[in-house]
Structures are given as structure tokens and as C-alpha cells.
Structure 1
Amino acid sequence: MLRKFLSVQLFLFLCVAVTLVAQVKQVNVDNLPDDQIRRIVAEMKQNNLSMDDINSYAERKGVPPAEAEKLKTRIQMMGLDKTLDKRSNTALFQPDAQYKGRSFNDSDTSQVDLFRQNGNVEIIRKKRIFGADLFSNKNLTFEPNLRIPTPQNYKLAADDQLAIDVYGYNEMQYNLTVTSEGYIRIPNLGPVYVNGLTIEEAKTRITKQLSAIYSAINSRKTFVQVSLGNIRSIRVLLIGEIEKPGTYTLPSLTTIANALYVSGGPNDNGSFRAIDVIRNGRVIVTFDLYDFLTKGDLTNNIVLQDQDIVKVNPYQTRVELIGEVKRPAIFEAKESETLGNIIDYAGGYTDGSFKDNITAYRINNKEREVINIKKSEIAQFKLKSGDQFFVDSILNRFTNRVTISGAVFHPGNYGLEPGMTIKNLIDKADGIREEASLNRGIIRRLNEDFSPAIISFNLSDVLSGKSTILLKKEDSVVIFSKFDLRQSYDVTIKGQVNRPGVFPYADSMRLEDLVLLAGGLSDAASLKNVEISRRVRTDGLDNSADTVRAIVMKIDLTKDLNTIDGKSLILEPFDEIVIRKEPAYSAQANVSVDGEVLYPGQYAIISKREHISDVIRRSGGLKPEAFAEGAVLLRKTYINDADSTLLNYKLALFYSKLEDSSSISSVAKMMNRKYQLLGINLEDVLKRPGSKYDILLEEGDVLKIPKKLQTVQLFGEVYFPKKIRVDNGSSFKDYIRGAGGFTSAALKRRSYVVYPNGEVKSTRKIFFFNKYPKVKPGSEVFIPSKKEKKGLSVQESIGLISGLATVVLIFVTLMDKIK
């Protein structure tokens, strides 16, 4: 009995569990808090995922693509995308890196790779063997050209196809294939043996045989042309120190270079200079790739035959040449070659190389050896496998350089001549400029112990010949400009000018000049009460609280801007001028009236006391079909710059109190709209002009008066959201029933109605009943949804169910054993 009871309980438990799993809702990124987004980013970073991997990550988690895009937007809004873009598994090569006392710059990146392994930077030297890139270059191929004329030394064999063309007095064409016995069979003639013959030899034999059935051949009225059609395939064996040794089936026109290319070329131990072709048990040719690489010579690149063996021998001598040569690499050398030959293979020296001495590093029996090779010994220096040669660069210094800079016409580097003075250098630089300071110049010089020194001189004395100073190598002469030795002078003008700003000061500059530079006065400018502030320049120190910081002058200008109280106004450096607006000046301000009025359009605001009723009256009043209850007023979010700054400050404080980035985003979108809706009641405005409902107009206001509306729109948690025709006797619930009724997720007590004029009324609670607002024509009814209840995820629910089911089964089994 107990077992049956537990079995029934287990069945009911599993049913409930399956129902719970089925009710787990899909992930909605908009509802995820910021902490959850941060946990997701942390998990992605731990798995070394970037922003580009978000879609695949979301797919693994069962999140649809639309939500994955929202997740990417949320991560970017929270500034976490940069965290995911930082990868730490690879360290790139850093220019001028140091390793074991040696510097590596950009030119060394081809020879040195840096990578990070277990937090330690290691250096691995790549083997850049001269000629190896020939077989890894995708833009280079040695595929044989099958469309060229047949080589004269090409010998026919089985599976070759011959095209025989008989033309002239007789016309006939044959396409015949050489049989395995070496014959071609010509119709009405019989077999002709062509195996081992060249094309010319085969043509002679075939023409002789065809003359038996075409007698016009002997009288030279019929001619015979023989050419090679489809060629046969041959099998070639590639062995030795090669990347991919084996037997290859290749076209019969394949050369040694073709075979090497398809097999990947010599490996790290393979020779580029001793490649043997073995035919019938003996070496018939030895191919040297360096002949092709350095001279373009393919003389020994013979056409292979069936069953040929291409053998790549191991290299005997290899040396490395690095530094200031055109092609630094590892080179293979023959026994008779010297260091001079290796430099030739490297393309010679670079322009900045030091040729007088080459440093060699050689491996002896027990230790390494450093050898200095003079320029005269390079051509005869014998090589040993493993040698490393380093060609240094010339020193980055000059034997006779002096420099002049500053207020001269041609600053720069000049050659130092014997007995050269500062005046000689200035003359070479074409003299000093007009703004040069004649009181003092300097020479930057290195002492004998290479410590820096400054030597000053009087430029006037030098130019007049009173002072003579000899220059030394690497001296740097500086001639100062007067403009560089003083602060830049300027004046500022603000207020009612066309181009306010900061302008360079000039001697004897007047206020009139500055106004002209600023584009003249604006239409609103007032010539009275112009304010000029001027810096205070006094000697000594004054710490009193009444210290004057600026001199402020308030003046009235004449119409020609020339004089102040009959005197000309001369400006001083750093003066600031403010020209204010005329107190009674006012620019036009307009409002717009759209919709069902007699004269819609723009209207100027006559006075600061202009109301809505005033502009309705000026527009001719409402039309008979106008719907006053639906009238709305749109007002600009920002009226002026001051409002913009104040509102932005208030919004910043408001944003700081919001807990989630999604809330901040929705508020920001709302505030970035150009216009905001201002609810009005036009019926009350027209009934009681000048009342509190009849608000004052502002510049940019838009008044919209629609036609009579006959529908109601329903949104949210109803089964069929749609527009419904207005019925004067219908209530709130009647319209809900017209849309199919509330859904199970509807939050009825939070329902609300938005009226056409922007007014909003919500549902009220009276005891235990909901009192819904009245629905008017043109209204929009919104039914919000209930809050999503947070619970276990699908994986967590399945895990919990499985664990509980296991416990119940164990308990049932124990009860059976007890019985």
C-alpha cells in the first residue's frame, strides 16, 4: 500500500516538475539587471570570447538572435565591450625589443618571433633559408604549360595522342593514341611503330607509310602534318630530404622544378644545390636552384621521363648572413665558394652598411669563436657550415656637421669648414630675420667628456665683428626671435558682434578696428554702456583684500565708433570688450497652428501676454468639424541654451539615481526628442479665455486641432489589440470585450487611458473593485502586463527535478527491502 502511495506521489511530482519547466520563460535582455550583464561578460571573458562571439554564445544558451543583438547593445552601453576586446593569449612583436643584450627592430621581425608562454617571453629564430619561399608562394607556380609547341627532344610513348592532318589533293584527319606496345593504328593501313621517336621522326615515318594509300604525297600535291594532342602521364619518384616524398603522377612535360613544387620543395635539411635526377640507375643531371634564383638559368631543368627518380640530397654547408645586406638569410654554399659568393647571393650590401669589417661567429670542436674579417679578406674567406656573419651599419654621426636654428632665413645643417665662425654660419643661412633678438644667442656644445655645455654670445657684437667665436663639430647655434621671447598679445570681444572671439593685438589698435575684425555690430547691439576690462599692472606685492584685479571702464560709443568723449580709444594687450544687447530690442517669435481652424499656419507672438485663445481668435476660430477635446500643444524641449544646460544638469542627477542602464536609456531617448507633449483642455480655454487653462505661448509652440475622432485604440494585454468604433453608450469593459477580453497576464488595476489631448487617467481602486476611467473618442487604452516572477532556469529546474526524483526512487526501494 505504501509503495503504491509513493508511486502515485512520484508521478504527481514529475507532472508538476514538467509543468514548471514548460513555464520557464524565454530570456528577455531588457529585463536583465546590470549585475546579470556583468556576470555574462565575466563568463565570456573567462572563456576567451570577444564581442564577435556574442551570437554563438547566445545560441548555445538558447537565446534568440534578436535578444543577442540587445545583449550586445547593453554591453556597449555599459562600456564593457572594451573588456571583451582585450586578448591576453598572444603578445605581438614590440619594436626595439631587448633580449640578452641585443636590440631587435622592425627589420628583424622576419627572423625573430616573440610569443608569450606561461607568462615568459621567449625568442625563436625562424629558419629563413634562401629560396625556401619559392615553394610557399601562392602567386608562383611551376605548372607545365601544355599549350606550347612540342619540344624537339620530346619522345613519344604509350598513351600519347597524335593528331595527323592530311591536306591538299586528299583531305583526312586522324586522332590516334599510342598503344602500350608503342604502335598507332592508321585505318586502311595498319600499325606504325612510333615508341621512342621524336615528333619529327614520327612524322617522317608516318608520311612514308601514308604514301602507300595517298599517292599524291609523292607528287607533293598532298601534305601531312603531325602534332601532339593529349599528352600522357608519367610516374616520378621524389625521395630524400623533401617536404612530401613519394610517387607522383605528373604530365609528361613536367620538369625538375615542376616536380619539386608539387612535392613542397626541400625540407629544412634538404639541399637547394644538389638535386639529382636518376634515370636507369645513374645520375643524368644535377640541378642547382641557385642558378635559377640568382641568374634565372634553367639549363639543367630537364623534362622528366616515366620512372625517373628525383633525389634531394642533404645540405653540406650552410651559413647565415644577417645585418646590412639586401637579402639577409641562411645560404647554402658549395665547397669552392667563399664569403664573397654568399654576399653576392644576398644581393650585396645596403647603402648604410659598414664594409670595412665583417664579424663572424664560428662553432669549433669545443666552443665558439669570433672572427674579424677585413674587407680585403672577404673574397678568399673559406666557409664552414654553421658560420654566422654579421654586417654592421655605419655610425649615426657626422664628421663635420654644425646646426643653426631660430630666426634665420634658412635654418638647418651645414658643413663645418676650417676656421668657421658664427658669423660665417649665419651668412650661409642667408642672414637673420627682422624679428631676431640681437641681445643674446646660444651655442649648444659637447665637451671633451661628452657633457653638454651652453655658450652664450651677443648677436650684435658677432654681426659687427666685435666678437669672433670659432665653431666646433656638432655645435648647434640658436638665434632667438622676439616673438618667441614674449607672450602672444591678443584682445577679446564678446556680445553683440557678428563674429565674437579672440583676435591678435597690434600696436595703436582702436576699438573701431576690433569691431570691424569681428564682422561689425549685430542688429541688437547697443552703443551705450559698453564695458572694457583691462589688466592691472603694478610693481611689488599687495596682499590686501581690496586689491584691484581688473580695470573696468563703462563707456558710450558714438555711431562711428571712433571716439569716447571726444577722444580716440586705444586698446591695450589682453583687453576684453563686451557690447551688450539693446534693452528694448526683441526679435520675432512664431507659433504654428495646424488642423481644423479657418486659417492654419504660422503666427507671430504679438506680446509676452499672448495666450492660446488669442492665437485661436487670430486664426479665425475652429471649424465645425474640429474636435476640441483632442487638441494638443507641442513645446520645444529646450527653449534656449540656459534651459538646455539646466535641464541636462538635472537629468545627470536623475540618471545617477537610476539603478539600471535600460532605465537610463529609455529616459534619455524621451528627453532627446525635439518636442514634448503639453496637455491642454481647449474646450475650457475657449469657454474661459485668460483662465489658468489658457496658458501663455512660447516661441516654437505647435498647436494641433484634429477632426472629430470615431475610434478607440487598445494596446497591451488583450487578446486582439485593435481599433474599435466609438459607441457613446460603451464603457471601459465593453471596449475590452470588443478586443477579446483581458489575457491571463493582464494587470487590470494598472490600466490607464490616454486622451487625445495628452491627458492620462488611470484605474482607481474602490474597496475590492476596480473603477476604470471613462473612454472618449480618439482615446488609447493601455493594459500593462504583470511583472515576470524570477525563478529557476531550465537547466536548474531539470537538475532539481532529477535530484528529487532520485531521492524518491531510493526511498521506494528501501521500503521494498524492509518489507
Structure 2
Amino acid sequence: MRDLYTQVPNENTQLRRFGSDVFVNRSVSAAVNTPLDVPLGPDYIVGAGDALIINLWGGVTQSITRTVDRDGSIFLLDAGSIQIAGLSLGKAQDLIGSKLKQQFRNAQVSVTISRLRSVRVYVVGDVQQPGGYDISALATPLSALYAAGGPTSVGSLRTLLHYRAKQLVEKIDLYDFLLHGIRNGSAPFESGDTLLVPPAGKQVAIFGAIKRPAIYELKAEETTLASVVEDAGGFTAAASLNHIRIERIDAHSQRVTVTLSDHDTQSLESAGGVIDNFKVEDGDRIRIEPILPYSQQAIYLAGHVVRPGRLPYSDGMRLSDVLRSYQDMLPEPAAHGELVRLVPPDLHAETIDFNVPDVMIGNANIDLRPFDTIRIFGRYEIDAPKVTIRGEVLRPGTYPMSKGMTAAGLVRMAGGFKRDALLENADLTSYKVSNGNHLVEDLSTVKIGAAVAGADTQADVPLKPGDILAIHQITSWNDMGESISISGQVRFPGSYGFTDGEHLSSVLRRAGGLLSTAYPIGAVFTRVQVRELEQKSREELIRQIETNSAAARLSPSLAGSNAGGELQLIKAQQEQVLSDLKNHAPTGRMVIHINADIDSWANTPADIELRRGDKLMIPKRPGFVLVTGQVYNVTALTYAPDKTAGWYLSRAGGTNATANRKEIFIIRANGSVVGRHSGGWFDTDVLSTKLNPGDVVVVPQKILGGSLFWKTLLSSGQLAASVAVTAAVAAAAL
């Protein structure tokens, strides 16, 4: 069917005028300056500007160079002035020889041209760049036209007119040169000559099964289709001479389609006679139809075969003539095959099933017809039986099930076990259909290690289509290589491995304990899982702040004439909080309570169990307290014993006008937070809290807007962004 449908023609044929490519990428200097690379014959007409070489030998040997002057003469010392312009080169040589022989006894003379003169020729009419051009005296009309850029889209290539004054010297047809290599235009140019390019005459387009599809210009005597075909190089081997169609313009009013011949029984000789006698007209578009792109006597072989493609058909051909043996097929063909037949008269497709093994033994043979397609399938193309292996093998996945496949064979097909595979047993899940309407699952255990090793012949089990084999992992394999990074004020900082269930105190002892300069209260302990939870919580907080509308945040008491300005302030505050949240990544810090005496807190709730990726940083005693937020001077103040947060705040200049004094909070060096209600419902004086080195006093910004939900959102954002500051303070104390 693919071959049948390829006969649809492509009507988007882009035709160009024949000969137009000659003038593309032209070089004016090459067209104007014709090199003197061939000897000039005796018929060359000498003119003013030609340079002559006069060779004299006999009584005297001499070589003389002379240039013909404007008067058409040359001057020789012993012979005087000799008029030679307008003479042929042969006659000029005879004249010069006769003059010199009077002066020299037995003198022999030869005259050659060493440099050609230039002539000015005017190229006018329908050309790209009309004007005057200085060209060589030997230049042809094609050279002059080439220098002028060639004809325009309406300029003629068949009738070029060479004028000398008012006299027509010659008509030139460039098709003689372009098609046959014949250079007509024998009349040489003289200065002042004109080359006129008139508008093109009749033009026809020919395309299809033709050697040179293009638009051709016709002369008056070339009016038959045969002459157009000859100009286009003739028909291709695939041309159908009985199917030639012409689109013609009828009396400047409409287009009509003329069929040259549409009789399939017509002989080629008769078709040729019609072509010779058929008259073409200006504007005709001639399409030479190709023969049918498919063979009427062919069948097709496709699918799981060694040599797919088109095969010749002969009368009485049968299916066994194409499928002679299994050597004609690829390995593991399916038993099912199809014969797709195009049934006349409309050639609709019908499928005939056949059994491949029956055809091989001759029990099922089918008579073939033209256009039959024989399709052979692979075994795994038709509802192929498959099994699946999962877990700890090199290439887990679904595999085609071969005959007699076992669990051990499936493991080998999957590349074998990984190093972490549990070889003791594996789970095998099988499925079967019960009563034809529901699926029943059966789970069994396979001693897979023994089966693959071959140590127990009873351990291996055969597989059924759809089985799933799961290879488990050795217990705690993923915990192998767990470590914690310890840095800062310990005796032996570095990365330490730990066993499953080991606690922080044990690793700190192996690290040599804390140094005397250590500040365990400010220890920063981070965990990957905590950081991931913080990140999710922060992303949700950012989403809520971004999606909450500004209008909903505006307090009803502020919704007056200054509502627009108030909304701008709320928007600016929102962007500031969002910026702080996005610029301070979550640390994953956990609050721990340890001191230099490891024995005092070992094996207590403070002695946390370690996890992969944990990090512990023990800083030095910072010696300062940081005051940040809405204060007049954000600064770090030297630590003073037994001083309260209010004392430090006053040393930082106190709060500014935008501060929310009711929500001042303290972030301890260990990461815990002391807020307005931290000491109890009635204990609201945070500023009376005594501070330790490394603590941070945070004065948040007053939240604009009247919505309680909005204030809670921004307060949470301010707190989340400020917690990251304590980790930076501890890092600065290393």
C-alpha cells in the first residue's frame, strides 16, 4: 500500500528559467578581460590599440614592438608610417614585409599580437546593469552580457541584437551555446557597438519525467512539443508518453487543462507522432507524467525475516514459494503469520492468518496474488511471555521468557547478584487466572543462592509467564560506612564511623573529648533529615506569604484615603521577609544539651543516637552577645556576667520606631528560643532574662496590617530567618 500511495504527485515544483544560472556569481573582470591564451588567426582585424611584435630575420635579425596609434598606423624607422588599421592580420603582415624588404636584403617578416585592444560596447535593454563596458576585441556577445549581469526576468536569451550605429550586424541565439556549445556571433565588436536584449518571446514550462525541467523560451519556428522536449534534454526512462498534460491559458481569461494522449493501448510510435505535431502556446505548463511507481507483478515480505522487501510475482505462486524454510526468517519467529491482501475492485485490505510451522511442512499453503504482503512476527512481538526480576541484581527489569527458564537462569540473565544481595532466599510471586474471570496470586520462597550456585538441584524452580522474582538486600547494608563529622574544639577533629545504635558520647570519647577552650553550650549539631523537614516547612511558609492577598492584610481601621500607601508598606515588608527566608537556607540544627564532662550526660536522654550525615561543631567561648533587628545599632557586645537582655539592648541604642517590643525574643547559643510566653503565661518580660555568651537578642519588626493570620505568618517568617544567625555566630567563634 505504501508503493501504491507514492504515485500522488508533488505539485510544488519550483521551476527556473533555463540559462539564468549562467549569470549567478559572475566576475566582471573575467568577463571583460579575455586573456590572450590562443594564437590569433590571419583573419583577425587589426585596429587602434593593438600591440604588435614584428620579428625580422634574414639579412638582419631584429624584434620590434609597435602599438597601432589612433590614426591606425605604426611607424618604422626605415620604412616610415604604415597604415594597417582595418586590415586582417595576414594582410598587415604582407604590407609590413613588403616595406621592410625594400630596406633589408633577403628579409623575412612575421607579425603577431602581443596585447589586444579594448573596445567600448553598450549593453542595453532588459539587462541587470545596462551601460557601457570596455571589453576585449575578442569578447563574444555572451561575455558582454555576462559583464552586464545577464538579462532580467523578462529579458530574452534567444534574440540578442548586435547593432553598429543604425545597422543590424547580427542576431545571436544564446541557446545554441547553452544547449549545444556552439558559439555563434562571429562578427567582432567595434568601439561604439550596441548589444540590445529585447523582452523574451514565447515561454513554456516543462517538468515531470524530463531531464532538464525548466522554463524555456521559444523562437517563432519552434512551436511543437517535440522542439521543447529536445531543448529540455529529452524524456527520462520513467516518462509515460501516453500521459502528457498541458495547463494552458485560454484567451487571457482562464486556465484549461489539455491532455495530449490518454490511451494506454496507443503505441509509442503513434505517441511520438502526436508529440511531433502538437503545437505549444505561450504560457503552457507541460507535465510529463511518470509511469506507475509500483510493479503490477510484485508481492511484499515484511517483519521477522532475513530479507524483507519487494519480490517478483509469477502466476501460480504460493506461500511456500516465499517461506521455504526457517533460514528465511530471523531467530525465534512466532507461529502466527499474516497475509495482507488488497481485494479488488477498490483494493481494500483484508488479513488472512496462517500458521508458520504448517506452511513449513506444507499443510497450510495459500495461493498468492499481486500486491500481497506476507508479514512474519517475532516470538516476543505477539503477547510475549515475560518475567520480571527486582532487587539486588545488576540489571533488574522485565525479560522475555524462554522455554524452560528457571529462577537461577533469570538471575544470570539479569547480570548476577550485587554484593549486597541476600543469598539465603528470595520471593517468587506467581499469578494465575481462576475461572477465567479473576487473578489469583501465589507467593513462595526460593533458595536463590543455592539455586544459582548449583549446590542444591531442588532449590531451582521453573518460571511461568508473569512471574516476579524479588532479590532482597542484606540487613543493615545501607548503614555500612556511616560516619559523623566532628569539628572545632575537640582533641582529634575529623570524620568518625559509628556502629548502628551508637551514641554521641561514645564518638566524642574516641575524638579525645573536648578541649579546655570548648564552649559546649554553643555546640551546633546538624542532621540531614531535620534540614529536609525545615526546608519543606519553609517552602510552605513562603508559599502562604506569597499567596495571601495584600487587600486581605489591610486592617479595616486603615482602609481609608491612605489605603494605597498602607498597601505599599505592607508589600515592602512582605518582600523583605521573603528575601530573608530565601537568602538564609535552613541549617537542620538540633538543640542538644552537652558539657565538657561527658560522663555526666552519657546514657541520658541528652546522649542522642547518631545517624548518617550528622555533623557536630564545638565552638570556642564567643565572649559576646549579639543584638540584631530593629535597633539603632546592630552590634555584638562584649559579654558581661549576670546581665539581662534589657541591659544589652540598651547598650545597642534601644529599639527604633518600627520595632515590635512585645515580640522580642532570644535565641540561645544552643539554638533554643526564649519568647514572650517561654517562662509561662504570665511571665512576659523577656528582657529580664540573663544571657550567656553567644546568645542573640532579636527585635522583630512591627507587622503591618490588621489580620491575625497575616501577623502570625510574618512573625513565623522573621523567626525562621533569625534562627540561622546563631549558627553563623558559633562558626565565627571557632
TM-score (norm 2): 0.64
Contact 2:491 2:513 in 1 (8 A): yes
State yes or no: 1:511 paired with 2:407: yes
Q: How far apart, CA to CA, are the structure 2 residues paired with 1:196 and 1:755?
A: 115
The Cα shift of 1:537 comes to: 2.6
Shift of the 622–480 alpha-carbon distance from structure 1 to 2, 3 Å rule, reads closer
Contact 1:678 1:758 in 2 (8 A): no
Residues 160-559 of structure 1: pairs in structure 2 closer than 5 A: 227-228=114-115, 235-245=120-130, 247-252=131-136, 255-300=140-185, 304-337=189-222, 338-363=224-249, 370-372=258-260, 374-405=271-302, 410-427=307-324, 442=339, 444-448=341-345, 450-455=347-352, 469-478=366-375, 483-485=380-382, 487-527=383-423, 530-541=426-437, 549-554=440-445, 559=450
Contact 1:629 1:681 in 2 (8 A): no
Shift of the 260–692 alpha-carbon distance from structure 1 to 2, 3 Å rule, reads farther
Q: How far apart, CA to CA, are the structure 1 residues paired with 2:34 and 2:580?
A: 69
Q: How far apart, CA to CA, are the structure 2 residues paired with 1:109 and 1:165?
A: 62
Q: How far apart, CA to CA, are the structure 1 residues paired with 2:671 and 2:80?
A: 108
Contact 2:527 2:589 in 1 (8 A): no
Deviations for 1:607-645, whole angstroms, at most 9, x for unmatched residues? 42422x543432234567778788655544799xxx79x
Match of 1:285, SS state, is strand
Q: How far apart, CA to CA, are the structure 1 residues paired with 2:583 and 2:424?
A: 40
Q: How far apart, CA to CA, are the structure 2 residues paired with 1:207 and 1:477?
A: 91
Aligned residue number for residue 599 of structure 1: 492
Shift of the 304–508 alpha-carbon distance from structure 1 to 2, 3 Å rule, reads same
Match of 1:550, SS state, is strand
Q: How far apart, CA to CA, are the structure 1 residues paired with 2:214 and 2:674?
A: 83
Residues 385-784 of structure 1: pairs in structure 2 closer than 5 A: 385-405=282-302, 410-427=307-324, 442=339, 444-448=341-345, 450-455=347-352, 469-478=366-375, 483-485=380-382, 487-527=383-423, 530-541=426-437, 549-554=440-445, 559=450, 568-583=460-475, 586-594=479-487, 597-611=490-504, 614-621=506-513, 632-633=524-525, 635-636=527-528, 658-659=546-547, 677-679=587-589, 685-686=595-596, 689=601, 696-704=609-617
The Cα shift of 1:308 comes to: 1.7
Aligned residue number for residue 722 of structure 2: none
Q: How far apart, CA to CA, are the structure 1 residues paired with 2:230 and 2:608?
A: 94
Amino-acid identity (%)? 25
The Cα shift of 1:328 comes to: 2.1
Contact 1:274 1:286 in 2 (8 A): yes
The Cα shift of 1:312 comes to: 0.9
Contact 2:243 2:259 in 1 (8 A): no
Shift of the 163–394 alpha-carbon distance from structure 1 to 2, 3 Å rule, reads same
Match of 2:295, SS state, is coil
The Cα shift of 1:133 comes to: 3.5
Counterpart among 86, 91, 108 of residue 12 in structure 2: 108
Aligned residue number for residue 35 of structure 2: 148
Contact 2:338 2:376 in 1 (8 A): yes
The Cα shift of 1:356 comes to: 3.5
Q: How far apart, CA to CA, are the structure 1 residues paired with 2:315 and 2:697?
A: 97
Shift of the 409–774 alpha-carbon distance from structure 1 to 2, 3 Å rule, reads same
Shift of the 754–193 alpha-carbon distance from structure 1 to 2, 3 Å rule, reads farther
The Cα shift of 1:309 comes to: 0.9
Q: How far apart, CA to CA, are the structure 2 residues paired with 1:243 and 1:692?
A: 97
> Which moved further from structure 2: 704-713 or 523-532?
704-713
Contact 1:353 1:391 in 2 (8 A): yes
The Cα shift of 1:535 comes to: 0.2
Q: How far apart, CA to CA, are the structure 1 residues paired with 2:94 and 2:638?
A: 109
Match of 1:392, SS state, is strand
Deviations for 1:574-629, whole angstroms, at most 9, x for unmatched residues? 22222333446541301223455443332102342422x54343223456777878
Q: How far apart, CA to CA, are the structure 1 residues paired with 2:620 and 2:13?
A: 76
Q: How far apart, CA to CA, are the structure 2 residues paired with 1:629 and 1:177?
A: 112
What letter matches 2:295 in structure 1? F
Contact 1:357 1:372 in 2 (8 A): yes
Aligned residue number for residue 138 of structure 1: 25
The Cα shift of 1:550 comes to: 0.7
| Ranges in structure 2 where 5+ consecutive residues have no aligned partner | 1-6, 57-62, 262-270, 549-573, 641-646, 677-683, 705-734
Match of 2:341, SS state, is strand
Match of 2:146, SS state, is helix
What letter matches 1:263 in structure 2? A
The Cα shift of 1:394 comes to: 1.3
Over the residues paired in the alignment, what is the CA RMSD in angstroms? 6.4
Shift of the 615–481 alpha-carbon distance from structure 1 to 2, 3 Å rule, reads closer
The Cα shift of 1:551 comes to: 1.0
Match of 1:291, SS state, is helix
What letter matches 1:552 in structure 2? L
Match of 1:273, SS state, is coil
Q: How far apart, CA to CA, are the structure 1 residues paired with 2:670 and 2:172?
A: 92
Q: How far apart, CA to CA, are the structure 1 residues paired with 2:80 and 2:529?
A: 103
Q: How far apart, CA to CA, are the structure 1 residues paired with 2:496 and 2:481?
A: 10
Aligned residue number for residue 170 of structure 1: none
Shift of the 628–205 alpha-carbon distance from structure 1 to 2, 3 Å rule, reads farther
Match of 2:221, SS state, is coil
The Cα shift of 1:759 comes to: 6.2
What letter matches 1:700 in structure 2? G
The Cα shift of 1:147 comes to: 7.9
Shift of the 380–439 alpha-carbon distance from structure 1 to 2, 3 Å rule, reads closer
The Cα shift of 1:272 comes to: 0.5
Match of 1:143, SS state, is helix
Shift of the 395–568 alpha-carbon distance from structure 1 to 2, 3 Å rule, reads closer
Contact 1:320 1:331 in 2 (8 A): yes
The Cα shift of 1:526 comes to: 3.8
What letter matches 1:389 in structure 2? I
TM-score (norm 1): 0.58
| Ranges in structure 1 where 5+ consecutive residues have no aligned partner | 1-101, 112-127, 167-172, 543-547, 737-741, 788-819
Q: How far apart, CA to CA, are the structure 2 residues paired with 1:363 and 1:549?
A: 77
The Cα shift of 1:446 comes to: 1.4
Q: How far apart, CA to CA, are the structure 2 residues paired with 1:550 and 1:384?
A: 82
